[in-house]
Amino acid sequence: MKFSAEAKLGFFVFTVALAFAFLVITFGEIPLFKPKTKEYIVYFQDVAGLSKGAEVRVAGVRAGKVKDVILEQGRVKVVFEIREDIKIYRDTKASIGTLGLMGDKYLSLNPGNPESGELPPGQVIRKTEVVGDTDRLITELTKTAQEFKNVAYNLNAILEENRRNLRETIANLNLLIVTLKEITIQNKESINLALRNLRELTESLNRDLPVLLTTLNKLAKDTNNILLENREDIRAIAYNMSVVLEKIRDDLPALVENLKELSINLNTLVKNNKVNIHRTLVSLRETTQNLSFASRRLDRILADLEKGRGTLGKLLKDDQLYVNINKGVKTLGKAGEVVGKTRLYIGLRGELYREGDSKGILTVKLQPDSKKYYLLELVGDSRGRVYREEYLDGREVIKKEFKPEFTLQYARNFKLLGKTLTLRGGLKESTGGIGVDYYLDKHKYLFADIWDSGRKDRPQDEDLKPNLQVGVHWHIGKNFYVRFGGDDLLNSKLRGVFGGVGFLFMDEDLKYLLGGIGVPLP
């Protein structure tokens, strides 16, 4: 059977095409259609098995291949090429990467910052990064495993040597526990009585001590004011008393001594010392005059006290001071009633947001009456505050700062269509904010909060609107609740949902819980 010239030509063309396709599949790209490339050089101390023809990846994207690997003056010179349309910059960093745990090596490039300028072809990349080799890692892990084995052997030897001591120690601990249990059972009534007495004492101190301290503080302030207003009178009284005491100190010992001598030697003096007797009488007359003068001064001081003059007189005669003290006691009594009616709520909750972010919140709520309350919250936010930091070479790095945030709000309750409407205002997570709650029933309510109009938490995002959060708060049981809803609803690229769970205890609940574990509370 003969083939025509056309058939033979077609068969030849088909055979050559198959061979050409085989070469392309086997050896890579067709040189005619290969994109234009540019060449660079980088030096390493160790390339960890990188070979000629290995991939070159820029920011993880295949961009070229290694042309040559040469050992040159104790370093490894790597010549590689990348596509001409891919730009790398002067601060480019090169490293050796591995495809998988035991895969092929490739040359990895971090392209750098465009502001540093493009790196011309043929230049050397100065920045390199040494990456741990797999074989070296396995060797280190083997050494570590051997060290753990030695530690386990030594620990086992120690336990074997001290097994008897350990058994005795455990037996002694069991005996101690049994003894303590017996002592507790035998003295249960005494312990309970001591706890009751301590609780009563705490209640008495909690009830009476603030009133007493406030009263003493008021009395001290009033006394201080009186002393300041009558400083000159106090100085005059002190001076007069000093004069009196000085006279008494100087004259009284001499008088006593003279009287003693007079009683002992009266007969002798009368008979033999008329002159001396005369002198003694003169001295006695002078002393009597001094005593008379001091007595008149004491009379004037007592008269001033009786008329309410001076500091001591005002303390004795000032009716207004008594009225002020009485008013202060009544005011303290009213303040004590307000404190007694105030209800305290303490709780914790956690909230989960998009992309795995979360918040932890400590809540303290003070409610003096049914019309208002004060809300204090300490917030820990895993998202933190995002900000930019600029280096001297012009680069900008985005960082996060984590610190506690505070919520401090005043809330007022109103009646609307038979339901309770609560308006809140103040600080919300350390920024200005307002909120509203609408109670569907006593177990659940709708809430909305808007805050952070400046949005300093994300300076890299411009023209952000305030954070608006809307959701549902639902109490499950007496103390536990759940919250869920939408977050950052005014910003499309940050909008998401959130959910949370928490618990809230009243002061009576806390007394019950802590009292149950033996902690005395008022």
- On whether residue 470 sits in a domain, the answer given is yes
Average the pLDDT over 434-449 and give the result: 92
* Banded pLDDT at 291 (limits 50, 70, 90): low
Residues 4 and 43 in one domain: no
- E strands in 168-285: none
Helices (H) and strands (E) in the chain, counts: 10, 20
pLDDT for res 521: 45
How many domains is the chain built from? 4
Residues 449 and 511 in one domain: yes
pLDDT for res 233: 73
Buried b (16+ CB within 10 A) or exposed e, 330-344: eebeeeeeeeeeeee
Q: Indicate whether 403 pLDDT > 80.
A: no
pLDDT for res 91: 92
Q: Which residues 6+ apart lie within 8 Å of 458 measured at CB?
A: 386, 464, 494
Whose CA is closest to 3, among 488, 165, 205, 12? 12
Helices (H), 230-265: 231-264
* Banded pLDDT at 518 (limits 50, 70, 90): very low
Range in 79-83, 166-170, 294-298 with the lowest mean pLDDT:
294-298
Q: Indicate whether 258 pLDDT > 60.
A: yes
Residues 379 and 509 in one domain: yes
Residues 502 and 389 in one domain: yes
- On whether residue 219 sits in a domain, the answer given is no
Q: Indicate whether 260 pLDDT > 60.
A: yes
Cα separation of 288 and 284, whole Å? Answer: 6
Q: Indicate whether 332 pLDDT > 70.
A: no
Whose CA is closest to 116, among 397, 398, 395, 388? 395
At 331, list the tokens: 């005011």
- On whether residue 298 sits in a domain, the answer given is yes
- On whether residue 221 sits in a domain, the answer given is no
Q: Is 94 helix (H, G, I), strand (E, B) or coil?
A: strand
Give the pairing type, strands 127-129 and 93-98: parallel
pLDDT for res 483: 93
- On whether residue 163 sits in a domain, the answer given is no
Give the count of alpha carbons within 13 A of 441, CB side only: 4
The distance from CA 230 to its chain's CA centroid, rounded to whole angstroms, is 50
- On whether residue 325 sits in a domain, the answer given is no
Mean pLDDT value across the chain: 78
Domain end: 106, 132, 158, which one? 132
Q: Is 103 helix (H, G, I), strand (E, B) or coil?
A: coil
Residues 20 and 61 in one domain: no
pLDDT for res 33: 54
Domain holding 4, by residue range, is 1-28
Range in 112-121, 397-406, 438-447, 458-467 with the lowest mean pLDDT:
397-406
Q: Indicate whether 36 pLDDT > 80.
A: yes
Range in 149-158, 307-316, 485-494 with the lowest mean pLDDT:
307-316
Q: Indicate whether 485 pLDDT > 90.
A: yes
Crossing angle for the helix pair 310-317 and 188-229, nearest 10 degrees? 120
Phi, psi of 480 (to 5 degrees): -105, 150
The CATH number given to whatever domain includes residue 479 is 2.40.160
Average the pLDDT over 112-131 and give the result: 88
Range in 143-157, 344-358, 449-463 with the lowest mean pLDDT:
449-463
Cα separation of 379 and 469, whole Å? Answer: 16
The CATH number given to whatever domain includes residue 82 is 2.40.30
pLDDT for res 454: 72
Q: Indicate whether 244 pLDDT > 70.
A: no
- On whether residue 272 sits in a domain, the answer given is yes
pLDDT in tens, 205-242: 788 778 878 887 887 787 777 777 777 777 777 777 77
pLDDT for res 385: 66
Q: Indicate whether 355 pLDDT > 80.
A: no
Whose CA is closest to 226, among 305, 308, 311? 311
* Banded pLDDT at 256 (limits 50, 70, 90): low
* Banded pLDDT at 370 (limits 50, 70, 90): confident
pLDDT for res 215: 80
Give the count of alpha carbons within 13 A of 250, CB side only: 11
Phi, psi of 158 (to 5 degrees): -65, -45
At 281, list the tokens: 């009488």
Distances (CA, A) of 39 to 33, 205, 245: 18, 86, 110
- Higher-pLDDT residue of 250 and 406 is 406
Cα separation of 422 and 182, whole Å? Answer: 56
Query: 451-458: long-range contacts (C-beta < 8 A, 24 or more apart)?
Result: 452/428, 456/385, 456/387, 457/383, 457/384, 457/385, 457/386, 458/386, 458/494
Average the pLDDT over 41-59 and give the result: 89
Average the pLDDT over 304-331 and give the result: 62
pLDDT for res 479: 83
Domain end: 132, 163, 183, which one? 132
The distance from CA 416 to its chain's CA centroid, rounded to whole angstroms, is 39
Residues 283 and 418 in one domain: no
pLDDT for res 34: 67
Cα separation of 218 and 213, whole Å? Answer: 9
Of 71-85, 143-157, 243-257, highest mean pLDDT? 71-85
Residues 2 and 51 in one domain: no
Phi, psi of 475 (to 5 degrees): -80, 130
Residues 428 and 408 in one domain: yes
Residues 293 and 384 in one domain: no
Give the count of alpha carbons within 13 A of 400, CB side only: 6
pLDDT for res 520: 47
Domain end: 280, 307, 334, which one? 307
Q: Is 368 helix (H, G, I), strand (E, B) or coil?
A: strand
pLDDT for res 110: 92
Residues 429 and 372 in one domain: yes
Q: Which residues pair with 433 in a beta bridge?
A: 426, 451
Cα separation of 50 and 107, whole Å? Answer: 8
Range in 58-72, 89-103, 115-129, 278-292 with the lowest mean pLDDT:
278-292
- On whether residue 210 sits in a domain, the answer given is no
Residues 449 and 363 in one domain: yes
Residues 405 and 440 in one domain: yes
pLDDT for res 519: 42
Give the count of alpha carbons within 13 A of 368, CB side only: 11
* Banded pLDDT at 405 (limits 50, 70, 90): confident
Q: Which residue has the tokens 């495809």?
A: 99
